[in-house]
Amino acid sequence: MKEGPDIARIATLIGDPARANMLMALMGGQALTATELAGAAGVTLATASAHLSKLEDGGLLSQRRQGRHRYFALADSAVAGLLENLAGLAATRGHLRHRPGPRDPALRRARICYDHLAGDFGVRMLDSLIGRGAIMADGEALQLTESGHRFFCEIGVDVDALKTPRRPLCRACLDWSERRSHLGGALGKAIFQHILAEGLAKREPESRAIRFTREGERRFLALFPVQDADAA
Amino acid sequence: MKEGPDIARIATLIGDPARANMLMALMGGQALTATELAGAAGVTLATASAHLSKLEDGGLLSQRRQGRHRYFALADSAVAGLLENLAGLAATRGHLRHRPGPRDPALRRARICYDHLAGDFGVRMLDSLIGRGAIMADGEALQLTESGHRFFCEIGVDVDALKTPRRPLCRACLDWSERRSHLGGALGKAIFQHILAEGLAKREPESRAIRFTREGERRFLALFPVQDADAA
DNA sequence: TTCATGGTTTGATCGTAACCGAAGCATCAT
DNA sequence: ATGATGCTTCGGTTACGATCAAACCATGAA
pLDDT of amino acid A53: 96
d(CA A70, CA A52): 11
Domain count, chain A: 2
Does A117 lie in the same domain as A194? Answer: yes
- Residue at B87 is within a domain: no
- Residue at A80 is within a domain: no
Q: Judge whether residue A143 contacts strand D, using its CB and a 7 Å cut-off.
A: no
Residues in chain B closer than 8 A to A2 (CB atoms)? 21, 97
Q: Strand D: which of residues 33-62 in chain A lie with Cβ below 7 A?
A: 33-35, 45-46, 48-50, 52-53
d(CA B168, CA A129): 18
Q: Where on strand C do bases come within 7 A of a protein Cβ?
A: 5-10, 17-23, 26-28
Does A110 lie in the same domain as A44? Answer: no
Kindly determine whether residue B20 and residue A7, on different chains, have CB atoms separated by under 8 Å: yes
Between B30 and B33, whose confidence is greater? B33
Domain end, chosen from A27, A60, A75, is at A75
pLDDT of amino acid B94: 66
Q: Judge whether residue B182 contacts strand D, using its CB and a 7 Å cut-off.
A: no
How far separated are the first and last CA of chain A, in Å rounded? 42
Does B200 lie in the same domain as B113? Answer: yes
- Residue at A68 is within a domain: yes
The alpha carbon of residue B12 is apart from the nearest alpha carbon of chain A, in Å, by 4
Domain that holds residue B14: 7-75
- Residue at B82 is within a domain: no
Does A107 lie in the same domain as A60? Answer: no
pLDDT digits (tens, 9 = 90+) for B38-96: 999 999 999 999 999 999 999 999 999 888 899 999 999 899 999 999 999 998 886 65
Does B143 lie in the same domain as B58? Answer: no
Does B218 lie in the same domain as B151? Answer: yes
Does B128 lie in the same domain as B24? Answer: no
Q: Give nearest nucleotide to B66 (CA–C1').
A: D27
pLDDT of amino acid A97: 47
- Taking C1' of D5 and every protein CA, the nearest residue is A68
Residue B41 CA, nucleotide C13 C1', distance (Å): 21
CATH number, domain with residue A43: 1.10.10.10
Does residue A200 carry a pLDDT above 50? yes
DSSP result, A136-163: EEETTEEEE-HHHHHHHHHHT--SGGG-
pLDDT digits (tens, 9 = 90+) for A159-188: 999 988 778 899 888 888 888 889 999 999
Kindly determine whether residue A59 and residue B93, on different chains, have CB atoms separated by under 8 Å: yes
Range among A135-149, B54-68, B100-114 rated most confident: B54-68
Does A32 lie in the same domain as A138? Answer: no
pLDDT band at residue A232, thresholds of 50, 70 and 90? very low
Q: Give nearest nucleotide to B67 (CA–C1').
A: D27
Does B109 lie in the same domain as B71? Answer: no
pLDDT > 70: what percent of chain A?
A: 92
Does A64 lie in the same domain as A19? Answer: yes
The alpha carbon of residue B68 is apart from the nearest alpha carbon of chain A, in Å, by 25
- CA-based nearest residue in chain A for residue B85: A82
So what's the ipTM on this one? 0.85
Does B126 lie in the same domain as B68? Answer: no
Nearest to A5 among B2, B8, B90 (CB): B90
